[in-house]
Amino acid sequence: MLLYRGLSKDRGQKIVAGTEAIAATSNGELGAGSYYWKETEGSVALFAAVISALQYYGSAPGGWALLAIDIDENSVVYREFLERETTLDFSDGAKRTVHYETVAAVPGVSSRQMASIHPMKLEGFVELNEQPSRVNSSAAPKMIPWMHYPMILGPTVAAAANEKLTQIKFNGAGLTLLNTAAVAKKRLVVTGDAYQSSNAQVKSRIDAMTLTSPKTSVRNGFPRILVALDPMPATTQDLRATWLQTS
């Protein structure tokens, strides 16, 4: 399983070196955790990760980076993870059975906790994440950890019609998997210098990038990055400030 995500260059170097563990530092439609784009046949995960890298970390002190994690799906550790844990996969659009806790208000009786199992599509799951009180969670919207689902997959609401995109979120035991060096090999694919956030022209090009057509967006906005990634480089490509050039 090949995963990509954008992050700051400093943090990326530390994760690859093993001096910093991957943690649940993000949140979104699948709750709190660590988010990635999953490579599948014909997917554009790599270029979606570029967009994420530039939009969230393009002006980060020290620069931005694109991290690749290659999980050995044939390893004993990964197979045991799948056997032991419950994963949730919305990537094919089907309904999934979701187990969570709700609070039922009964007239004249104090609220009580009730275990609930519901067949649910991604849209319904996203709604739960936006309304934590419905699942008896004190978390902020979009920050429910869902620890009993350490790996959750699905399309992104930012480009729901793009069937070539699958995002995947890890938390709990999923983070332990990502931090097991023997199973999850990590490397930086490409790095670049930070741009000045006051540079309106560059910011406009970054803001114009969309997950609807990730590769086209990278080609139109930052062709030097496309050249560095197509084909996939065997070693880290440090673009420094050249990624800002339009030709």
pLDDT, tens only, 192-234:
999 998 999 999 999 999 999 999 999 999 999 999 999 999 9
φ and ψ at residue 50, rounded to 5 degrees:
-60, -45
Residue 44 domain-assigned (yes or no): yes
Residue 80, exposed/middle/buried by CB under 10 A (0-12, 13-18, 19+)? exposed
146, 152 Cβ separation under 8 angstroms: yes
Residue 106 domain-assigned (yes or no): no
Question: How far is Cα 88 from Cα 171, in angstroms, rounded to an integer?
Answer: 12
* Domain containing residue 239: 2-82+178-244
Closest-CA residue to 145 (of 36, 66, 32, 235):
32
**Given a cut of 50, is residue 113 above it in pLDDT?**
no
Residue 107 domain-assigned (yes or no): no
Helix axes 45-57 and 214-221, enclosed angle (nearest 10): 50
pLDDT, tens only, 121-178:
889 999 999 999 888 889 999 999 999 899 999 998 888 778 889 999 999 999 999 9
Question: How far is Cα 30 from Cα 120, in angstroms, rounded to an integer?
Answer: 13
Residue 31 domain-assigned (yes or no): yes
pTM: 0.92
Q: Quote the longest CA-to-CA distance of the chain.
A: 70
Residue 142 domain-assigned (yes or no): no
Residue 34 domain-assigned (yes or no): yes
Question: How far is Cα 5 from Cα 53, in angstroms, rounded to an integer?
Answer: 7
Residue 235 domain-assigned (yes or no): yes
Q: How many domains does the chain have?
A: 1
Residue 95 domain-assigned (yes or no): no
Tokens 């906005």 locate to 221
